[in-house]
Amino acid sequence: MAHPNRQQILTAALKALLAAAETNALVKGATTFVAELGSAAKSLPPEQRDTFADATDDELRDALVQLDIVSRNAGYAAVGVDRILESLADVQHDLAAELREMRAELQKLRELTEKLQEKLTHERQSAAMLTRSVEGVRMLAETVHSYAPSQELLRIAETLQQALYEYDERFGQVALSAEDALDLRLSRATVENTRRCFDKALELVTDADVKTEEATLTDHLERVIAVHRVRADAFYGKADWENALTHYQRIRELRPEDLGAVMMAGVCLARLARHQEAFQCFDVAVKHFTRLVEQEGRSELVNDLAMCLNNRGLVLRELGKLSEAMVDYDKAVEIRTRLVEQEGRSELANDLAMILNNRGNAFGDLGKLDEAMADFDQSVAIRTRLVEKEGRSKLTNDLAMSLNNRGNALKDQGKIDEAVTDFDKAVTIYGRLVEKEGRSELANDLAMSLNNRGNAFGDLGKLDEAMADFDQSVAIRTRLVEKEGRSELVNDLAMSLNNRGIALCAQGKLAEAMADFDKVIDIYTRLVQQEGRSELANDLASSLNNRGIALKDQGKLDEAMADFDKAVEIRTRLVEQEGRSELANDLAISLNNRGIALHAQGKLAEAVTDFDKAVEIYTRLVEEQGRSELANDMAGSYYNRGIALRLLERLEDALDDAEKAVAIFSDLVHNKGRVEFSSSLNEAEKLRDDIRKEIDARLTPPSR
């Protein structure tokens, strides 16, 4: 006898079958009866259908007796129990055969889906290489490497799509269990993720599926992971980093050894500026691939190792650990150069350009502009060839990134016109991609390039052109943050507002500048002090420094001093206590500005103390560390100290500073072609000449 629960299920199935088969059909004959039953059997709930399909003869007879069909229904009685059993057996045989075929097809779909997901994960993982474009004085606009599915991936997706079509044709009307129905949706969603139709994937596999599967975790671990991965990949494709991270982290909890989830979580964390957590992810990945490559001889994974080194290097740079970042970048460049140039892996040329781009940024942070330019030149050359000669139009935005970064390096070298040329190209590319080709995800990159070009225009004294770029940059980022909810870009908005405030100061529009600086300081204060974004502390100091200048120019010296004091305090802590030696130049700037404010307050001795510290820093950076791009800043500090010393009547010391300032500015203007410092040279020469006259006047006896 059947188990009571099973018998109850079978009885319910037969009751439904016999009710669906009209009495007339029973009377007319077995053929019609079988047809009616066969159609009804496919529509049974899965549990009843499957129980009926594999029921024994005794189980069927017991169920019919349980229904007592002979005594209750004349139509059935006319046919007879044996006749009904015979017909049921025919239907049962056909249904069982069809179910076996359906289950085989479902298994085939599962295997194809697993294959497609594995390939998609590998390609996503290999393409998840972080890069950055430089904006102003810091690195920004982190992006994920341009990703285009390989032909092999598309072929697997097409095979799965065809198998799904054939399944629907044959078994589309057959009722499925909840598990089988979810597996089908997982297959379809994986295809949609491959096709970059991420919203469709999220419609197919929903949050309700996550909750349902989590409730049966112990029985369906693989399915739970599959549900999280499909939704993680879809959110990742939509650049919804928070939601993607949630699902990748859950996969890590369920399967700690899942390296794909570790790496993708690292990318999401980096995009969310959670750099310490991102470092931990990439550190795990680097150690894993290093062991596989160096100890187990898995040479085919060396490119993955390069990608992980690149990503770890980027977050190390964000954490202010530049020397460690450079070690990772050097290793990554070495690996990819060998793969491309010696092993003929031409498909990795753009990846090589990307790492060169990132290392160039790090060189720039270290003040090694010649090395930075060498990397940027190579990066631009590679991507120009790929886009213009090899027709790789999908890499156009990568080319724009390299142009943008080279433009900043040129600007730092004082080659402003060449910088503007690169920025023009970058703005043109991003403008076309965003405004004509609908690449809305690149809107922030367009804002970045506009911001950078605006800075270059400002250096050239073209303030109207600079303001036009800054206004557009602010407008784009305001829309992204306030209307599109891109809260992770609020720091970028602060940078655009900061730069516009500087331009407004240069135009003499101090009240408008103050409005921008106030917004910037509010943003950075919240990010640093309330949200724990300690990596933005120097940006907060920079905005305080800028507002202090605006306040000083308005004659509000006490308020200006309050801002300068905070800026100096922050940067002193970063440089002297936290070892952020790359920010020494920024500390010197704040000391120099506070010295000017102290001078304006008549506190000349205190002003000289600040100028002394600034000069000491610049001397070390320029003369000992070769930071020649800071020579003009050093000259400015000599000039400022010279003025204060003159007023303190320390004329010999003042003359020494003035002569040093003249020598530096003269070299920049006459030997280096830095004509933008001509007015600074004239002012330094006037100061020198005036001090000489004072000294001469004191040495010359008064005439009688």
pLDDT of residue 569: 96
Q: Predicted confidence band at 142 (pLDDT cuts at 50, 70, 90)?
A: very low
pLDDT of residue 178: 86
Q: Predicted confidence band at 436 (pLDDT cuts at 50, 70, 90)?
A: very high
pLDDT of residue 18: 66
pLDDT of residue 140: 30
Q: Is the model's pLDDT at 69 over the cut of 60? A: no
Mean of the pLDDT values across residues 663-683? 91
In whole angstroms, what is the distance from residue 464 CA to residue 325 CA? 39
Mean of the pLDDT values across residues 92-107? 82
> Lowest-confidence range among 164-168, 270-274, 519-523?
270-274
205-217 residue pLDDT tens: 999 999 988 888 7
In whole angstroms, what is the distance from residue 221 CA to residue 189 CA? 19
Q: Is the model's pLDDT at 450 over the cut of 90? A: yes
Q: Predicted confidence band at 414 (pLDDT cuts at 50, 70, 90)?
A: confident
CB 614 within 8 A of CB 591: yes
Q: Is the model's pLDDT at 25 over the cut of 50? A: no
What percent of the chain is modeled with pLDDT above 90?
Answer: 59
184-193 residue pLDDT tens: 999 999 999 9
Instruction: Give 704's contacts (C-beta < 8 A, 6+ positions apart).
Output: none
Mean of the pLDDT values across residues 371-400? 94
In whole angstroms, what is the distance from residue 477 CA to residue 453 CA? 16
539-580 residue pLDDT tens: 999 999 999 999 999 999 999 999 999 999 999 999 999 888
pLDDT of residue 128: 72
Q: Predicted confidence band at 80 (pLDDT cuts at 50, 70, 90)?
A: low
Mean of the pLDDT values across residues 448-473? 95
Mean of the pLDDT values across residues 224-232? 95
Longest Cα–Cα distance of the chain, Å, equals: 152
Q: Is the model's pLDDT at 22 over the cut of 60? A: no
In whole angstroms, what is the distance from residue 477 CA to residue 228 CA? 32
**What distances in angstroms separate CA 252 from CA 105, 127, 129, 308, 315, one per listed residue?**
31, 20, 20, 18, 20
pLDDT of residue 36: 62
In whole angstroms, what is the distance from residue 431 CA to residue 251 CA? 38
pLDDT of residue 318: 82
Q: Is the model's pLDDT at 122 over the cut of 90? A: no
Mean of the pLDDT values across residues 264-279? 88
pLDDT of residue 87: 67
Higher-pLDDT residue of 160 and 274 is 160
Higher-pLDDT residue of 83 and 509 is 509
3-state secondary structure of 180: helix
> Lowest-confidence range among 140-154, 165-179, 352-366?
140-154
Q: Predicted confidence band at 65 (pLDDT cuts at 50, 70, 90)?
A: low
Which residue is associated with the tokens 């992980």?
308
3-state secondary structure of 462: coil
Higher-pLDDT residue of 502 and 75 is 502
Q: Could you please report the per-residue DSSP string of 471-491? A: HHHHHHHHIIIIIS--GGGHH
Q: How crowded is residue 129: how many other Cβ atoms within 10 Å of its Cβ? A: 24
> Lowest-confidence range among 32-41, 42-51, 255-264, 564-573?
32-41
pLDDT of residue 367: 79
| This model's pTM is above 0.75 | no
Q: Predicted confidence band at 74 (pLDDT cuts at 50, 70, 90)?
A: very low
Q: Is the model's pLDDT at 139 over the cut of 60? A: no
pLDDT of residue 441: 86
In whole angstroms, what is the distance from residue 634 CA to residue 616 CA? 9
pLDDT of residue 62: 72
Instruction: Give 618's contacts (C-beta < 8 A, 6+ positions apart).
Output: 585, 588, 630, 633, 634, 637
What percent of the chain is modeled with pLDDT above 70?
Answer: 89
Q: Mean pLDDT in the chain?
A: 86
309-348 residue pLDDT tens: 999 999 998 887 888 999 999 999 999 999 999 999 998 9
Residue type (1 letter), 702:
P
pLDDT of residue 626: 83
pLDDT of residue 19: 65
Q: Is the model's pLDDT at 138 over the cut of 50? A: no
Rg, Å, the chain Cα set = 36
